[in-house]
């Protein structure tokens, strides 16, 4: 594995998002002097925050999986996550509600999920689920250490025994087809393929290797931090400070000083000049290329994932049995991907994610109130032609009406819209094509074909975050930070080759 040359005693990490925080922790744990520069007054990056009238709103990701990867970040500086952060199990992980009125709770426990599927769709589908679960577990075990958690210097570095095993179990076939081999009920197929939206590709087009996201959601289990998702970056930053990391909040990086092929200092809008031996850039890809003064050399242009509209809504306390995460599937599910990915238009038959964080932590809303996060997939700005300034209000009303009709009767009567974020708003935050999901995980943007975390022609700059390896998501962002640290220090024996003892090799149970 290639690493940067020369000294690496002083490292500046640009951005205190999850990737930057993980990089800082791993570097500090390996004896580096680390300074983190962050434009906002707090850590988190995409895992942002907003406080409105007693509501504590998470403006970024709301679904957290793979807590052992979070544990790895704290362990890098000898800390225990449980001393810093309480993760609450979310059960069910999701409630899936379909257009025909049927619904099923998704459990990570094999026995409970088997029983739920048997009641929902019959014994044959339950047996197929057990086979699918076993396949997802095998996929994860082969894929994690050999691909997700590994640095690649070139496509040739993928030619390993793991690649042959991954191909043998169907990892390079289509995700939807592999799920259909095990279960035939179209509603259940959606439960194990909707995650392709996170990868920015329709299930029928996505590689089966990305079904590992379904493993993370439906088998590893979903968790939620007490205090909201913001509690995660807060805890990581606190651990980093205690490990000697310096944070400079409210400072935006405006330039990199270079001598020859090396960055030797970072300049900020506060007239600061921070000397360094290496730099980790976790900025959005357009800003990264601007700072580096170069563009990627690619035969095919980079393709950005679809975007989303998110409405944050306060309301009267809803029925206590309302799940933490509910997916409202529209009837024309396949059409959804055609609308937003191919045609760049609003969904004609909406499918929505409704998150109720107050189901796990009621303190995130005023007494007697609930907090909702309603997400509608949407075209990004490169593909779509939607005038978001014109449709923002009406589309928000449509989303609330849809949730009122299908999930929470009476919501419309008491809904208070706290904030709305559209693709245009994501773009104003610097996100490419107005998408919070970064680059799509097409074949040409997978593994060593994704923008690399080392920069050609610059000897000591390393990238981390959603637009480089391994990709989009909270677990992968944390891994990305560790991979960046490895590029600076070389692999650390305690940070690689993780033992996946939480998987039962027969049933895939934790």
Q: What is the pLDDT of residues 174-232, one digit of tens each?
A: 999 999 999 999 999 999 999 998 788 899 999 999 999 999 999 999 999 999 999 99
Q: What is the pLDDT of residues 362-397, one digit of tens each?
A: 999 999 999 999 999 999 999 999 999 999 999 999
pLDDT at 197: 84
Any idea what DSSP says for residue 439? B
**For residue 469, is pLDDT > 50?**
yes
Phi then psi for residue 351, to 5 deg, are -120, 130
Q: Which two tokens stand for residue 464?
A: 């981390």
- Cβ contact 491:129 at 8 Å: no
Q: By C-alpha distance, which of 309, 318, 407 is closest to 371?
A: 318
pLDDT at 413: 95
**For residue 358, is pLDDT > 50?**
yes
Distances in Å between the Cα of 85 and the Cα atoms of 79, 288, 390, 396 are 11, 31, 42, 34
Q: Which two tokens stand for residue 433?
A: 């094509």
- Cβ contact 464:484 at 8 Å: yes
Residue 389 CB burial class (10 angstroms; 0-12, 13-18, ≥19): exposed
Q: What is the pLDDT of residues 70-118, one digit of tens each?
A: 999 999 999 999 999 999 999 999 999 999 999 999 999 999 999 999 9
CA dihedral 458, 463, 468, 474 (to 10 degrees): 180
How does 11-47 read in b/e, with b if 16+ C-beta sit within 10 Å? bbbbbbbbbbbbbbbbbbbbebbbbbbbbbebbbbbb
Give SS3 for 78.
coil
pLDDT at 443: 77
Q: What is the pLDDT of residues 147-181, one digit of tens each?
A: 888 887 776 666 678 889 999 999 999 999 999 99
Q: By C-alpha distance, which of 154, 411, 440, 140 is closest to 285?
A: 440
What is the percentage of the chain residues whose pLDDT exceeds 90? 83
Q: Using CA atoms, how far apart are residues 188 and 121, in angstroms rounded to an integer?
A: 9
């Amino acid at each position: 594995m290639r690493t940067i040359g020369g000294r690496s005693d002083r490292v500046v990490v640009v951005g205190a998002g999850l990737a930057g925080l993980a990089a800082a922790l791993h570097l500090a744990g390996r004896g580096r002097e680390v300074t983190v520069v962050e434009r906002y007054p707090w850590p988190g990056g995409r895992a942002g925050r907003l406080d409105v009238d007693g509501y504590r709103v998470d403006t970024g990701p709301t679904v957290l999986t793979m807590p052992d990867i979070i544990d790895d970040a704290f362990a890098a500086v000898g800390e225990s996550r449980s001393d810093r952060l309480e993760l609450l199990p979310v059960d069910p992980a999701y409630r899936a509600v379909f257009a025909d009125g049927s619904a099923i709770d998704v459990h990570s426990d094999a026995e409970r999920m088997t029983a739920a599927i048997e009641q929902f769709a019959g014994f044959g589908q339950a047996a197929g689920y057990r086979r699918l679960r076993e396949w997802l577990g095998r996929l994860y075990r082969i894929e994690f250490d050999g691909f997700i958690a590994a640095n690649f210097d070139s496509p040739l570095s993928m030619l390993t025994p793991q690649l042959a095993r991954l191909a043998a179990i169907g990892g390079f076939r289509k995700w939807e087809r592999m799920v259909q081999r095990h279960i035939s009920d179209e509603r259940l197929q959606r439960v194990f393929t909707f995650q392709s939206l996170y990868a920015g590709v329709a299930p029928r087009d996505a590689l089966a290797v990305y079904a590992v996201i379904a493993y993370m959601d439906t088998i590893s289990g979903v968790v939620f931090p007490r205090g909201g998702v913001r509690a995660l970056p807060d805890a990581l930053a606190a651990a980093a400070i205690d490990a000697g990391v310096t944070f400079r909040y409210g400072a935006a990086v405006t330039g990199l000083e270079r001598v020859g092929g090396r960055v030797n200092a970072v300049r900020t809008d506060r007239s600061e000049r921070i000397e360094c031996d290496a730099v980790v850039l976790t900025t959005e890809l357009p800003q990264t290329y601007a700072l580096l003064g170069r563009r990627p050399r690619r035969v095919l242009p980079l393709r950005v994932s679809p975007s989303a509209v998110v409405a944050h809504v306060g309301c009267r306390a809803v029925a206590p049995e309302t799940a933490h995460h509910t997916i409202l599937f529209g009837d024309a599910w396949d059409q959804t991907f055609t609308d937003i990915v191919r045609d760049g238009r609003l969904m004609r038959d909406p499918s929505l994610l409704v998150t109720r964080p107050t189901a796990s932590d009621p303190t995130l809303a005023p007494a007697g109130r609930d907090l909702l996060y309603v997400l509608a997939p949407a075209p990004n700005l490169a593909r779509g032609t939607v005038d978001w300034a014109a449709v923002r209000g009406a589309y928000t009303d449509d989303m609330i009406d849809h949730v009122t009709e299908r999930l929470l009767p009476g919501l419309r009567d008491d809904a208070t819209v706290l904030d709305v974020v559209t693709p245009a708003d994501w773009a104003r935050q610097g996100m490419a094509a107005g998408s919070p999901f970064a680059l799509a995980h097409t074949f040409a943007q997978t593994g060593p074909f994704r923008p690399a975390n080392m920069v050609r022609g610059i000897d000591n700059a390393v990238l981390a975050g959603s637009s480089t390896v391994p990709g989009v998501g909270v677990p992968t962002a944390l891994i990305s930070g560790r991979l960046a640290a490895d590029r600076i220090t070389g692999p650390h024996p305690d940070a690689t080759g993780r033992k996946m003892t939480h998987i039962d090799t027969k049933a895939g149970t934790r």
